[in-house]
Structure 1
Amino acid sequence: MKSRLLNYLKEFKSERVVFKIDDALERLRVSRRELEEALFMLEDEGYLTILKIPPSDSVVNRLKSRLNELDASFIMGLITETEYNKKWREIVDVTSPDATKDLEPLPSQNLTDLLKAFRTECDRLEKLREEKGKVDDKVYSELLKVYTGIFLKVGNALKNYARALITALRMIRDELERLRVSSEALELDSRIRGVNHRAELEVLEKKSRELAQRILRLASKAGFPQQPDAIAKEREALLKKLVDELNQAEKSLQIFKAKALIEGEAKYRIEIERFEKMIQELRGRVEALRNELKTPEAGENLLKELGSIHDRLSSLSIDGINEETRRSIGEALGLIGAGLRVLQKLTGEIREERPALHNIPRLLEILRELPS
């Protein structure tokens, strides 16, 4: 199917191809779903870029899947907030705005702040309900509409975060599994043929440390501390150094932005993007290091708070929130809890030297606890 579609597109003899879906369906004799899947597969493989495509259930589902992977990359610190917002917009702009109007990007705050915001909205709705019958019905209805809108917005953010967290952990699991297979294959080859694979193993070792940092950034985004394992003074000294670097980078960024306003953005775009990326990475490292210096109880407190909010949602008696909405948000809170418990164990396994290749089986064992 992919090769037939490529041949069809080549017939247009143009780098930019515009065609009607119905014409392609008639020519290729396939279903619309098959055509859409082939287009997205070719884009994933780098053969083409989809600029616009009419909406359908399969198109919207594919875009949601891409957004979920993008969300996961963002909370792992693989892309900056600026890059995230740009790529998010590029994905949703591929199809009709009406088809994606209910989709929203992840907020910049961490999970702890999201949970606080959700509890606040629960409190507001309950307090408003207590005023029912005491105030004018129109006033009550107006405030109920406003408060419900905010409640649903925060609830949707929690649902997006839940999907992103589980996806991020699965991505880490898959990469760890590939590292395990590669390292064990090299070690077995060394025993059988006597070949020295030291250089290749060092590359894999480096990748394992990078994955450890990704786990820490994920924990940091959740506001979830790592179990401390190093001498506090050493960590504090490193923290001070990173904070100084962060402050200097932020000052430099402001200078280049000021110059860009005067002399034009194009002249300083590269420097601005470089410092934005540097600042994002430094912030992630600073936040992760600060979390490492916290007490282990802080992680348990976050899980307790999550459980408390889940119970609160179950017993909440408010107007304007149907049972399906309550159930879907409750499921999201459950997924977040499952993800955090796995994340807590992972960070507990990460030691001063970060997880070496020999520790990967243990990390994979923990990741098997992820919900299917």
Structure 2
Amino acid sequence: MKKSLIALAFGTLALGMTEFVMMGILADVANALGITIPQAGHLVSAYALGVTCGAPLLAVAKQFRPKSILLFLVCLIFIGALISSVAQSYEMLLMARFISGLPHGAYFGVASIVAVRLADEGHKTGAVSTMIAGMTVANLLGVPLETALSAHISWRMPFIIISFYSLLVIYYIWKWVPQLEVTPSNGYKGQFRFLKTGAPWLILGATMLGNGGVFCFYSYVTPILTSDGGIPYEYMSAIMILAGFGMVVGNLVSGKLSDRYTPGRVATAMMLFAAASLMSVFIFAHNGWVAAAFTVFSVLSMFAMSSPQQYLILKHAPGGEMLGGACIQMAFNMGNAVGAFLGGLPIEAGLDDRYAAIVGAPMALGAAVLMTAFCVKYEKNKV
């Protein structure tokens, strides 16, 4: 495996630890800052909104070399984590989470282009999958470790670790990622031209709904499994490891299947699987260990959607590939923000925590409908 792809994956590992840490430490943060669980859920949304605001900056940054952009973006990860680690109030932590989200979409946009340009022909979706793999490893190892440190030491420890790790990422990107030439530019307006066709809108809409559906539930996974399911809190680290393993499997398998079949069909199947998993979480929530199994299935499907969609948006964004790669992350994280918000509504209304999952199921079904429409119109043959 090329060292350059490993360096890119180290960056997505940092992003994964930053983004998903809040799911494991939600209750700890709420208790420490004296806020409610739904209010703490807004910290998930703040990160997602940062992604949405940061991604379009690539339209301006495209004049710089990809490696320089990547190094700048990892510096933002470091700054956001550092502020989070010293935040003294809910408002300060909200601001830090917003800053932490700013580099997310832009990093994926640039890293996707670099991965595809460095990949051998016929293995481009696999290269994107390798780049994304850091995100899955974050959930397999990083987030469970962060959850345990939060429970036994302080909720600030995860952010301290991310700060130091970000410095390592800066070093490896500087050392291993080659200096590629600036991506050819079609002008500022030309970068947005791909949005005049229907394909990217179907991909982006399906991405937002699919991710949002899972995040309705996953944003509140800890209170659902502990309060409704009766699982002791100290077992949550182990469950997060299993969920992370599901993400790793989903990402790697979908990357290989997409190189063999069409990426759109793989993504559609995973969206249907996500909807079924969310319904099952709701039905079996009071049997905590069964709900935990469907938790693994739901996040497996979420990451199995990711690689095909990341590749598809690049394929259907001629002249604006870097911006398209960022837009797909905007869609992912707009879905995360909306999902975290909608999932908290039934909880705020006094219903059991498990009702967050039932909100997400129709969103995942809607994603499958949009992706099916994409496949019918734009992806009739094997890639």
Q: Note whether the superposition's TM-score is higher than 0.5.
A: no
After TM superposition, the score normalised by the length of structure 1 is 0.27
State the structure with more CA Rg. Answer: 1
> Greater helix percent: which structure?
2
